[in-house]
Structure 1
Amino acid sequence: MKHSATSNFDTLTGRDPAGRAASWRIQALDADRVRTDDGRTLVLRSLHAQGDDLAVTETLLDNEIRALTRLHTRYRVPLPELPQIVGYDFDSAEPFLLLEPPSGKCVDSGLRTLLIDERRRFMIGLFRALAQLHAVGLVHGSVGLPSLYWDGATTQLVNLEHATGTGEAPRPSRNGSVAHPGHDVRAAGRVVYELFTGRHVQPGDVPDLASQPEVLESLLHGVFDQDPQQRPTAVQVLERLNDRDPLPRPVDVTAAMKPGYDRFDELRPPKPVVRPVSQPVAPRRAPKPGPRQVPLIPLAAVVFLVIATIAVLVAVL
């Protein structure tokens, strides 16, 4: 990250979401927010504002950059339920991440003031965010009230610093297990349970759904199963919520890159296969005939007959 002062603005140099070189003229507003020279307010994440453990801080910042650039690459339009990256730099001595600010207000408190219809839209936004993450092989890893924002129309799931690829070990690892979408579904189930009941659920606890209204029991059925593979997917929970809006389809990376591969093959056709030329083989010479050998067994029989004949003649004479 390079700074150069111009009046009251600094120039921040890095890359845009597509990886191209870019720069922004910014002015600090507070610890994690800046204003650009065109009047936009953005969130700035850097190592200085994140904590004292530099190694952990770098890992968390790298996690979020990786997750957000993957989302930008795989979805053609920004997703209202997930954060939007503006720029980043992780190759310099001062890495950073620029984001659009979250929509609405953090729901870490005041969720119980939502009306019934608002609760449904809140839950739909939450599980749409998870479904869109899981569709591109990402697990959020830290779903909770502090990571959720509500703007009156939908929910936005932020704070992707613990995001991990499905089947990969989280960085930094907290319990040694690999990331599974079912972990996010269970964590979201705790949020929903607290939203309905006002009771907090510890990460390892299983709430008593049988004592709750049927609508809540049906919605969260299987969500707290000990086996993450047995839990419903985020898409299945959306079906239970009767969400009729189709989810955006991620870009098929292989299909998207095929025109480029084809063009490359046109410009550089494969070299013809050159068959190796067989080397002439010198004819083998027939071995010279050696002295003829008389079989030993017939020879011994002849000798025996000769000796026997001589013995008979001697006896007669």
Structure 2
Amino acid sequence: MVNDDNARAGGEFEELGMISPQGAPLRVKARFGPDLPRMVRPPAVGRRVQFGDEWAGLQVRLPEAESGNETAQTAIEAETAAVLTVHRAYSGTRYSGLFPAPIGYDVNATEPFIVYAAPRGRSVAALAQGVSTSQQRVIERDLVLAVRLMEAVGLVHQGLVPAAVRWDDHGIQLWDFGSVTHLGRPRRPYGIPPYAAPEQRHGEGLTDARDALWSVGQIMHQLVTGRPGHPEGPSADLPAHPSLAQTLAPVFAPRAADRPPPGTLLQLLMPGAGADFPAVAQPDPLDPYRRDFDTAMRRKRASLRRAPLPPPPSAPPSAPPSAPPWLGEPRPPADTAEEGAWLYGGSTAHDPETAGTERGGYR
């Protein structure tokens, strides 16, 4: 039986059409909770989804009022493409729990959305100065493993911050796939210090999986010491924490070229790992042309959404005009740098080059 508190939190069940991660059309009965303030960065919003007797999912959607916002449309398409790429590569393997589990999506809906299974555990930010050595080893191993697995499918997570990493007794789960870009693309200024690598923040050179290793090191520094690390290189207190320095000292090098590749570092943390990994992806020579196609399709969809609608019926003269339901409701700032504010992470920019969902295959 549905809990009364849950019943009060949402409306009636309604039919929801979407596409499964395998590409099949789905129609399910779903009920939605209210929008959760600061759940994801604006202009996207997040809300819980109930399919049966429990709130078992999370929907991230772009409100209809933002249908002409090409940057926001690109961001949700990028998130969808990235999470589907990883899901299709590792679903059914022992690595699947490291990443969010998509249930369905529709980037062509009036309000584009993706539905995830509910996040596991809690943010590792809650573990600051309370992480045991054994927990530390599991978290750093899982983070490096996730970076290496994403590298294998040609992706780099640019938004690794404590709030983007969930933790429970089964290990980590990595979120904020809206901050994922493609390996080898020109870096754009992105992320917040100290978690984003210097070259990434300054938009220098080409995206490298070792960008994410810097972020792993900074997350672990925060967990072990309770303090943020240095934004440009190793912190002065690193030698005072041998459990951190003995494994991760090389990832604090200011330049990606001076950090070890994820696979090399993973061998230190998990000897023998990688036998069942895909080969590291190489940049796609057709990628610029695919991006041009995606951009053209987004513009076409945006122009169709902006087509004028027929005017609504006139209200009786005595009835005052109704305000839109969202008018006057507080919205969080789009450019906040408050790292712990979001469920998914603390980066404040989106890469407009990472969308690819129109191609269907994503790889």
Under a length normalisation based on structure 2, what TM-score does the superposition of the two structures give? 0.61
Residue 221 of structure 2 corresponds to which residue in structure 1? 193
Secondary structure class of the residue paired with 1:222: helix
Indicate whether 1:61 and 2:70 are aligned.
no
Deviation at 1:210, TM superposition (A): 5.5
Task: Give, in whole Å, the separation in 2 of the partners of 1:131 and 1:155.
Answer: 15
Secondary structure class of the residue paired with 1:68: helix
- CA radius of gyration, larger in: 1
Task: Give, in whole Å, the separation in 1 of the partners of 2:116 and 2:271.
Answer: 28
Per the alignment, do residues 216 and 252 of structure 1 end up closer, same or farther by CA in structure 2, a change over 3 Å counting?
closer
Residue 254 of structure 2 corresponds to which residue in structure 1? 226
Deviation at 1:50, TM superposition (A): 12
Q: Is the contact made by 1:9 and 1:37 (CA closer than 8 Å) also made in structure 2? A: no
Residue 116 of structure 1 corresponds to which residue in structure 2? 133
Task: Give, in whole Å, the separation in 1 of the partners of 2:143 and 2:240.
Answer: 21
Deviation at 1:108, TM superposition (A): 2.1
Indicate whether 1:164 and 2:181 are aligned.
yes
RMSD of the TM alignment (CA)?
3.0
Residue 23 of structure 2 corresponds to which residue in structure 1? 19
Q: Structure 2 counterpart of 1:161, which letter?
A: G
Q: Structure 1 counterpart of 2:172, which letter?
A: T
Deviation at 1:49, TM superposition (A): 10
* Aligned equivalent of 2:92, options 77, 84, 90: 77
Deviation at 1:42, TM superposition (A): 0.6
Residue 212 of structure 1 corresponds to which residue in structure 2? 240
* Larger displacement relative to structure 2 (125-134 or 139-148): 125-134
* Aligned equivalent of 1:93, options 107, 110, 114: 110
> Deviations 1:47-92 (Å, cap 9, x if unpaired)?
1399999333222211110111111222241611111111111123
* Aligned equivalent of 1:137, options 140, 149, 154: 154
Secondary structure class of the residue paired with 1:109: helix
- Percent identical residues: 23
Q: Is the contact made by 2:99 and 2:174 (CA closer than 8 Å) also made in structure 1? A: yes
* Larger displacement relative to structure 2 (59-68 or 103-112): 103-112
Deviation at 1:111, TM superposition (A): 3.0
Task: Give, in whole Å, the separation in 1 of the partners of 2:99 and 2:164.
Answer: 11
Q: Extract unaligned runs of 5+ from structure 2.
A: 1-10, 36-46, 191-200, 282-363
Under a length normalisation based on structure 1, what TM-score does the superposition of the two structures give? 0.69
Q: Is the contact made by 2:62 and 2:113 (CA closer than 8 Å) also made in structure 1? A: yes
Q: Structure 1 counterpart of 2:123, which letter?
A: C
Q: Extract unaligned runs of 5+ from structure 1.
A: 1-6, 254-317
Per the alignment, do residues 45 and 171 of structure 1 end up closer, same or farther by CA in structure 2, a change over 3 Å counting?
farther
Secondary structure class of the residue paired with 2:86: helix
Residue 257 of structure 1 corresponds to which residue in structure 2? none
Q: Structure 1 counterpart of 2:166, which letter?
A: Y
Residue 296 of structure 1 corresponds to which residue in structure 2? none
Residue 238 of structure 1 corresponds to which residue in structure 2? 266
Secondary structure class of the residue paired with 2:97: coil
Residue 42 of structure 1 corresponds to which residue in structure 2? 57
